[in-house]
A = this chain, B = another copy of it.
Amino acid sequence: MTQSIAIIGASGYTGAELIRLIATHPSMKITALAANSKAGQSMAQVFPHLRHLDLPDLVTWEQIDFSTIDLCFCALPHKTSQEVISKLPTSVKIVDLSADFRLRDPEAYKQWYGNDHAAVEMQKEAVYGLTEFYREEIAGARLVAGTGCNAATGQFILRPLIAGGVIDLDEIILDLQCGVSGAGRSLKENLLHAELSEGTNAYSVGGTHRHLGEFDQEFSRLAGREVTIQFTPHLGPFNRGILATAYVRGEAAAVHAALAAAYESEAFVEVLPMGETPSTHHVRGSNFVHIGVVGDRLPGRTIVVATLDNLCKGSAGQALQNANLMLGLEETAGLMLAPCFP
């Protein structure tokens, strides 16, 4: 049976990525596409790379007939997302790709995002969408909150290590490079080709990046005690891809074993042989995560490197993986596209 899908926020990069993936999904059909600022336009105008697809024109989200929709992806900016989602009929399953329902605690939300949450009750109901770790809750959920793309990458490294008790919880540093599409299709000077290509820079240095809210919530919950990591993201001159380099205290063999065990049955997470490290080039355009472990020359210290595609596994691919679960479909449906290299 084909599932009827709506996407709100279809004029951004994660919206486009959802459409790209659903284009070859065996049992989903896109019934409605909304982008209030571009309502009335065709998708070929907004994203010419989707020109070959038979897609509905853009409407406002208020114009969607939700009685015909099985599941709605919401790819709006945070704050707008909570306002829209709180008005959608409760009959519709929702996968939100924004930051609005990632943090369970309204105080934490306010701390990291600056505003009071407009849908506190829904915030409680939402399931955190890191599929590999919340699979059962997601399958039964009505509202799933997609994770931050950096937050997902860091958790793929650190969750099994924290859960397995193989690292020192007070000595975790996560250094990360993120491709520019993570910043969305927004008109900012630092995102111009002339400003960003041919070089790199750090940003949100010193523990101010919002994805730390997710790390704090998830790692502390997992450890049963407060865990606060150091985290420095960098902006790299490439469109897709995140590479996270974690510095942890623990034996490399134990770290590798914990990761290998955690992901043994996972379709999308590949743990490389000990001593090898991954590259963002090799996951581009796909839903895969590659993780590598190397012991440092300093005894008891280990480096773990993970890569994924921020737009796919870090956002739209994860969202589709969750939607598959919520709709009772095969979890991997539409997601086995091989990475696009070179």
Is A63's beta carbon under 8 Å from chain B? no
Known: A193-B196, A194-B185, A284-B198. A206 touches B239 (CB 8 A): no
Count of chain A residues near B, Cβ 8 A: 88
A290 lies within 8 A of B193 (CB): no
B243 lies within 8 A of A282 (CB): no
Is A142's beta carbon under 8 Å from chain B? no
How many angstroms from the CA of A201 to the CA of B277 in the assembled complex? 8
Most buried by B among A179, A189, A203: A179
Distance in angstroms from A266 CB to nearest chain B CB is 10
A342 lies within 8 A of B13 (CB): yes
How many angstroms from the CA of A156 to the CA of B39 in the assembled complex? 34
Is A120's beta carbon under 8 Å from chain B? no
Most buried by B among A189, A275, A295, A339: A339
Q: How many copies does the complex hold?
A: 4
Q: Which of A1-9, A90-98, A129-137, A227-235 forms contacts with chain B? A: A227-235
A181 lies within 8 A of B194 (CB): yes
Is A257's beta carbon under 8 Å from chain B? no
How many angstroms from the CA of A20 to the CA of B284 in the assembled complex? 12
Q: Which of A43-51, A67-75, A144-152, A217-225 forms contacts with chain B? A: A43-51
A338 lies within 8 A of B20 (CB): yes
Known A-B contacts: A23-B337, A193-B196. Give 12 more (CB < 8 A). Answer: A47-B282, A48-B282, A49-B286, A49-B340, A175-B175, A185-B195, A187-B192, A193-B193, A194-B342, A200-B280, A201-B281, A205-B292
A297 lies within 8 A of B193 (CB): no
B247 lies within 8 A of A173 (CB): yes
How many angstroms from the CA of A198 to the CA of B230 in the assembled complex? 27
Is A87's beta carbon under 8 Å from chain B? no
